[in-house]
Amino acid sequence: MTVSCALRFLCHVQDLSDPGAKGFPPAPGGFFGLFAIRRGDNVRVYVNACPHIGVPLEWAPDRFLSSDGQHIVCGTHGALFDLLSGACQAGPCKGDHLTMVPVTIENGAVYVAADAGL
């Protein structure tokens, strides 16, 4: 069995506001982009697809958060998601989750698996 361990660099933690978010295009050959959020020392990366109908969440480039920075918000129908768990707390997909991508953070750099989001 072959296990892929290639990593894809996304950004540095310091590139993310606190709280803040940043979007990334799909990996080569991929369909879904990713986005990273930060709150304090916590960084999460999610597949950029709303569990409601699968569209990207941001309403403008890198605009994934509610105005108070306390939730991820879907720009299409306004669903609200917990920043750190990706759980939908309000909206048409309440009870569902964003797809979280495991991250590796080394020396302040954020990496995901090269095939994340494929």
Residues contributing to the site for ligand FES (CB under 6 A) = 50, 52-53, 55, 74, 76-77, 79, 91-93
CB of 65 to ligand FES, least distance (A): 14
CB of 88 to ligand FES, least distance (A): 8
CB nearer ligand FES, residue 16 or residue 98 = 98
Exposure b/e, 64-77, CB count within 10 A at least 16 = b: bbeeeeebbbbeee
CB of 14 to ligand FES, least distance (A): 30
Q: Which residues contact 28 (CB under 8 A, 6 or more apart)?
A: none
CB nearer ligand FES, residue 58 or residue 111 = 58
Pull the structure tokens for residue 68: 């108070």
Beta bridge partners of 21: 37
CB nearer ligand FES, residue 100 or residue 105 = 100
CB nearer ligand FES, residue 55 or residue 105 = 55
Q: In what order do the strands lie in the sheet with 100-101?
A: 20-24, 34-39, 42-47, 100-101
User: How many residues are recorded in the chain?
Assistant: 118
